[in-house]
A and B are shown apart, each in its own frame.
Chain A
Amino acid sequence: ETGVTQTPRHLVMGMTNKKSLKCEQHLGHNAMYWYKQSAKKPLELMFVYSLEERVENNSVPSRFSPECPNSSHLFLHLHTLQPEDSALYLCASSHNVRDTQYFGPGTRLTVL
Chain B
Amino acid sequence: GENVEQHPSTLSVQEGDSAVIKCTYSDSASNYFPWYKQELGKRPQLIIDIRSNVGEKKDQRIAVTLNKTAKHFSLHITETQPEDSAVYFCAATISGGGADGLTFGKGTHLIIQP
Contact = CB atoms under 8 A, between A and B. Distances in A.
Interface string A97-108: 111111111100
Contacts of A105: 42-43
Contacts of B36: 103
Nearest to B32: A98
Chain A residues touching B, range: 20 to 34
Nearest to A102: B46
Contacts of A99: 32, 95
Nearest to B102: A101
B5 to A, nearest CB: 13
Interface residues of B, number: 24
A98 B94 contact: yes
B71 to A, nearest CB: 18
A70 B16 CA distance: 47
Of the listed residues A42, A96, A100, A106, the one surrounded by the most CB atoms of chain B closer than 10 A to its CB is A42
Contact of B96 (A98, A100, A106): A98
B107 A42 contact: yes
Interface string B34-52: 1010000011111001000
A79 B51 CA distance: 41
A42 B32 contact: no
Interface in A43-98: 43, 45, 48, 50, 55-56, 90, 94, 96-98
Given A48-B99, A55-B100, A98-B93, 9 more contacts: A41-B106, A42-B106, A42-B107, A43-B104, A48-B101, A98-B98, A99-B32, A100-B49, A102-B46
Interface of A: 31, 33, 41-43, 45, 48, 50, 55-56, 90, 94, 96-106
Interface of B: 32, 34, 36, 42-46, 49, 87, 89, 93-102, 104, 106-107
